[in-house]
Amino acid sequence: MPVRAAGLEWGYLAMGLDSPPSRGDTVAAEQAATVCALLLAREEAAVSATRRLEGEFVWDLLEGRVRDEAEALVRARQLQRDLPRPARVLLVRVDGWERLVRNEQWTPEQLERARARGAQALSEQLAARNAAARVIARRANLFVVLAPQPRDAAAEWARHLGELAVSAVSSSDLHAVAGVSGVVESVLGFPEGFRQARFALSAASLPRQPVVVFEALGVLQFLLTPAEGPDLERFVQQTIGRLLAYDRAHRTSLVPTLEAYLACDCNLQRAAERLFVHHKTMRYRLQRIHALSGLRLDRQDDRFNAQLALKIMGLVTRSPSTAAVSAHQQQE
């Protein structure tokens, strides 16, 4: 017996009888199917309304229409959601729906339910792997996840998060790619996280690189979008920020050492002579630079990123050497 309500077919009601159905059995089955349809329709309406409100809130938050932290927290509490902080914004684009609609002859309602099942699968996959998403919303083929960022986790955790999400919604018919933002520290930082996730998603591709984390873009982020002051400063901090902080805290000269080493085409002896230090001192400083920043100066990409960070510093402030000497003099 078909279970139908509001023009939608929800499924079928089956009955087991010992004898051929009587007229009363048929009427009872029709009434039971109607009751089932009404209950399912009511539940679907309640779930859809909640999803719609949650989705509106998430997109308002990400697109900068929520400009007060208190308002954001109140709206989240009304939806019985917690906004994670620190957090990552994860965007997942799922392609292949249109082909499924044609092949399966889905109605728009069936397509929406299939996408809703994708969101549910995404939530369950993340929860099963201890990467629970606090908020999930969707818009057409795009799913967005606001996931808590563990304090001691690095960009590798973000990549793992993206891989879990992609595997949750991918199938033989559907293909997904994901972009993950940098760390969002405050409620009002979600629009910036959304911007970063979009840039990361634009760099993702199948099959070579289905998941891209914003930090891993390096200089590519400046090619994807016009760079602004905060973008440049963020790149400097991501690349040599720990060296700058260490120099300030310990009155050392790791940043000028890095600058001299690169200026001498990574020739250790020439860089040592340029800084008037012993070559063993130079070698020790380079080891500290690697330990603190993770930069591997035997790799072209890392050398390029370090040189770019130093040049940005020279443009937006002063040269690294001058800044370090000035700070040293002030402390003395």
Q: What is the CATH number of the domain that holds 185?
A: 3.30.70.270
The answer on pLDDT for 209 being more than 80 is yes
Clarify whether residues 91 and 210 are in a common domain.
Answer: yes
What total of structural domains would you count in the chain? Answer: 3
pLDDT in tens, 239-276: 999 999 999 999 999 999 999 999 999 999 999 999 99
Mean per-residue pLDDT for 92-121? Answer: 90
Mean per-residue pLDDT for 76-94? Answer: 89
Mean per-residue pLDDT for 212-240? Answer: 76
**Which CATH number fits the domain that encloses residue 312?**
1.10.10.2840
Clarify whether residues 234 and 316 are in a common domain.
Answer: yes
Confidence of residue 46 (pLDDT cuts 50, 70, 90): low
Name the phi and psi angles at 146, rounded to 5: -105, 105
Clarify whether residues 205 and 236 are in a common domain.
Answer: no
Q: Which residue has the higher pLDDT, 215 or 162?
A: 162
Confidence of residue 85 (pLDDT cuts 50, 70, 90): confident
Mean per-residue pLDDT for 269-291? Answer: 94
Clarify whether residues 298 and 241 are in a common domain.
Answer: yes
Percent of the chain with pLDDT over 90: 42
pLDDT recorded at residue 113? 84
Confidence of residue 201 (pLDDT cuts 50, 70, 90): very high
Q: Coil, strand or helix: which one is 171? A: coil
- With respect to residue 280, please indicate whether it lies within any of the assigned structural domains: yes
Clarify whether residues 236 and 282 are in a common domain.
Answer: yes
- With respect to residue 68, please indicate whether it lies within any of the assigned structural domains: no
Clarify whether residues 103 and 29 are in a common domain.
Answer: no
Clarify whether residues 91 and 177 are in a common domain.
Answer: yes
- With respect to residue 64, please indicate whether it lies within any of the assigned structural domains: no
Clarify whether residues 87 and 219 are in a common domain.
Answer: yes
The mean pLDDT of the chain is: 83
Report CA torsion sign: 39, 40, 43, 46: negative
pLDDT recorded at residue 329? 35
- With respect to residue 253, please indicate whether it lies within any of the assigned structural domains: yes
- With respect to residue 72, please indicate whether it lies within any of the assigned structural domains: no
Alpha helices (H) along the chain:
23-62, 69-78, 97-104, 108-128, 155-169, 190-203, 220-224, 229-250, 254-263, 268-275, 279-293, 300-316, 320-331
- With respect to residue 130, please indicate whether it lies within any of the assigned structural domains: yes
Mean per-residue pLDDT for 86-115? Answer: 91
pLDDT recorded at residue 324? 42
The answer on pLDDT for 93 being more than 90 is yes
- Which range marks the domain in which residue 14 is found? 2-49
Q: Coil, strand or helix: which one is 166? A: helix
Clarify whether residues 87 and 185 are in a common domain.
Answer: yes
The answer on pLDDT for 277 being more than 70 is yes
| Cα–Cα distance, 181 to 155 (Å, whole number) | 10
Clarify whether residues 276 and 249 are in a common domain.
Answer: yes
pLDDT recorded at residue 325? 38
Clarify whether residues 264 and 215 are in a common domain.
Answer: no
Give the Cα-Cα-Cα angle 241, 244, 250 (nearest 5 degrees). 135
Report the range of poorest mean pLDDT among 78-87, 109-118, 133-142, 312-321: 312-321
Alpha helices (H) along 105-228:
108-128, 155-169, 190-203, 220-224
Domain termination residue (choose one: 179, 206, 224): 224
- With respect to residue 311, please indicate whether it lies within any of the assigned structural domains: yes
Clarify whether residues 87 and 220 are in a common domain.
Answer: yes
pLDDT recorded at residue 248? 94
pLDDT in tens, 296-328: 999 998 998 899 889 888 765 544 443 443 443
The answer on pLDDT for 189 being more than 70 is yes
- With respect to residue 25, please indicate whether it lies within any of the assigned structural domains: yes
**Structure tokens belonging to residue 144:** 């967005």
